[in-house]
Chain A
């Protein structure tokens, strides 16, 4: 039973103190990569991985189908609304079949693994791999998925591929009450809710990772339209060549 294995984790979450946010970088761009607006480049967006649910009082993830569906719709709509501001043409990846689908699946998993490695061994400065700080210079960002990406469905008609991953757990009422009481009572900080997301841009010819933005604490309620706009803004905040600001311009 897979749920049994989660219990230990849930307990840990329930009882652990929330660690103060460490000095950690959130995004990086490959050296020498520039994407000027209006270059007419095509960006292929792969199906965003979205998972939204609740968080039980003890911290277990409670998947919620309705919220996830709403979030997927909202995020895709926000992307469409904001794409003009990316300065380039955004196209959705076609549905893949057969061997194409297998190839795509492997690359989605590869992207997830590489992103995790970037977050762990590049963005977390104290943990940075020696190869990622050449001659102790800090601005090295050299990661790749390999040239196999050129064979992905839809890659022939585009220059760059955009991957998006999102996971949200909204604290249940019980969790929020626990949070307040734990703070008022013994003074223990309990974290309610979890909002993580990352987005990455890959060169579809070489497979090089050009830009990655990863955040363990994102804003914006993806279950609602304006919240999802805020989330997508945050994800694409320092997208090379984009004119998107993290906050909606006061107009």
Chain B
């Protein structure tokens, strides 16, 4: 009895530190890595080719200041020796994503910049991707998928040679088991990358607690998007069978537990982040608004206002968001938001345009015309100048 109990307690004692593993530090850096073996060399070769195309892609944002800033945040997170292995490409694509491929190509989507609010949060995402790279997850995932599907190919052959109800049914069970294994392997890789991402932050100068906050923002955005579409709020704790990532709530909890507690007092670089991104935010916000996801866009704008205060571009974006949804009640709100943007920055031509169009829609033609005239004054060679001029009274005499 006692040894058995002891065994269980021993198992618990071992399990305990594993589940609540505290404040890890990254493994020692292995230095410049070259691919090994047929599979890996093949992947790098394909990847080199795709990077060649990526480097010349019109989607890449080539602004030198933005690129060096993002690379700098990555280096602050993973350390200078590791970050030399990476080429960062910023893509104009308004979704929340970043990825890193086997040869050290990092793709950062512009939508990410709307969803993180500080250098620490940005570093958390980039560090996570670097973790996939350092652990060479793509290769392991490929091998897992290949051996799993190979097994299925053989068993499906055997089953088709002995067609019976029992054989077909066990083949289906095996298929589910193999797919389940492949997807679970993927989720475990995400967990490992999460752990590595925090460990980089732990040893750096940025606040590691930020990693957990990214996921909280993502969950609130998803809730907001679902609410505005009248859907049930998503369940952030359930693991779907085919999910490629662990559930968000689990990630937020784990990341919070892994961060070193005394790191909470560190700087998270929110102010520097807002300053560096300020010139690009109007464009990124515009891309986001055109995704036609009112709830998510509204949440992102308010989230940014909460961390950095309401600025003219933010009020303007909110006005655009409401005006483009285009219900009659939205135009009243939109006109109000544009007016606030103009109050902060009277030279924002597009805000005058939006204000004018929104006022027209609410029946305030005279005020609308004044606003549109101001738009044409500020931007006489706008691409829609002729169309806007049609809405103004023609000069008598001409």
Contacts and interface: CB of A to CB of B under 8 A. Distances in A.
A193 B46 CA distance: 19
Contacts of A109: 53
Given A51-B46, A69-B45, A182-B157, A1 B39 contact: no
Contacts of B393: none
A59 to B, nearest CB: 8
A53 B42 contact: yes
A1 B188 CA distance: 12
B145 A188 contact: no
B152 A58 contact: yes
A65 to B, nearest CB: 4
Interface in A42-95: 49, 51, 53, 56-60, 62-66, 68-69
B127 interface: no
B183 A105 contact: no
Interface in B25-52: 35, 38-39, 41-46, 49
Instruction: Determine the main DSSP class of B at the interface with A.
Output: helix
Contact of A57 (B58, B150, B186): B150
A105 B54 CA distance: 9
Given A63-B45, A63-B46, A7 B157 contact: no
A57 B58 CA distance: 38
Interface residues of B, number: 37
Contacts of A178: 153-154, 157
Interface stretch (A8-16, A27-35, A117-125, A127-135): A8-16
B45 A1 contact: no
Given A57-B153, A58-B152, A64-B38, A4 B160 contact: no
Given A62-B39, A63-B42, A1 B186 contact: yes
B45 A68 contact: yes
Contacts of A10: 145, 149
A40 interface: no
A5 to B, nearest CB: 9
A11 B152 CA distance: 8
A185 interface: yes
A14 B149 contact: yes
Interface residues of A, number: 40
B161 to A, nearest CB: 5
A102 B149 contact: no
Contacts of B244: 1, 4
Contacts of A7: 145, 148-149, 179, 182
Contacts of B161: 185-186
B156 interface: yes
A58 B149 contact: yes
Given A4-B145, A15-B156, A57-B150, A62 B42 contact: yes
B141 to A, nearest CB: 5
Nearest to B179: A7
B189 interface: yes
B311 interface: no
A22 to B, nearest CB: 25
Nearest to A60: B146
Interface string A91-127: 0000010000110111011000000000000000000
Interface string A165-191: 000000000100010011001101000
Nearest to A188: B160
B128 interface: no
Contact of B154 (A49, A53, A57, A64): A57
Given A7-B149, A57-B150, A68-B45, A1 B137 contact: yes
A6 interface: yes
A181 B53 contact: no
B60 to A, nearest CB: 9
Nearest to B183: A4
A6 B146 CA distance: 10
Given A57-B150, A174-B150, A181-B157, A1 B57 contact: no
Interface in B175-199: 179, 182-183, 186, 189
Given A1-B189, A51-B49, A105-B53, A56 B150 contact: yes
A101 B42 contact: no
B138 interface: yes
B170 to A, nearest CB: 16
B56 A58 contact: no
B186 A4 contact: yes
B370 to A, nearest CB: 42
A49 B149 CA distance: 28
A17 to B, nearest CB: 11
Contacts of A108: 53
A1 B142 CA distance: 9
A106 B58 CA distance: 8
A185 B58 contact: no
A61 to B, nearest CB: 9
B42 A105 contact: no
Interface in A174-228: 174, 178, 181-182, 185-186, 188
Contact of B57 (A4, A102, A181): A102
Q: Most A CB atoms within 10 A — which of B46, B56, B137?
A: B56
A116 to B, nearest CB: 16
A166 B182 CA distance: 30
Contacts of A182: 157, 160
21 contacts: A1-B138, A1-B186, A3-B138, A3-B141, A7-B145, A7-B148, A11-B152, A14-B149, A14-B156, A49-B49, A60-B145, A60-B149, A63-B46, A64-B42, A102-B57, A102-B58, A105-B58, A109-B53, A178-B154, A186-B161, A188-B160
Top 6 nearest A-B pairs (CB, nearest first) are: A63-B42, A58-B149, A105-B56, A65-B45, A65-B41, A186-B160
Given A1-B138, A62-B39, A174-B150, 7 more contacts: A7-B182, A60-B146, A60-B149, A63-B46, A105-B57, A185-B157, A186-B161
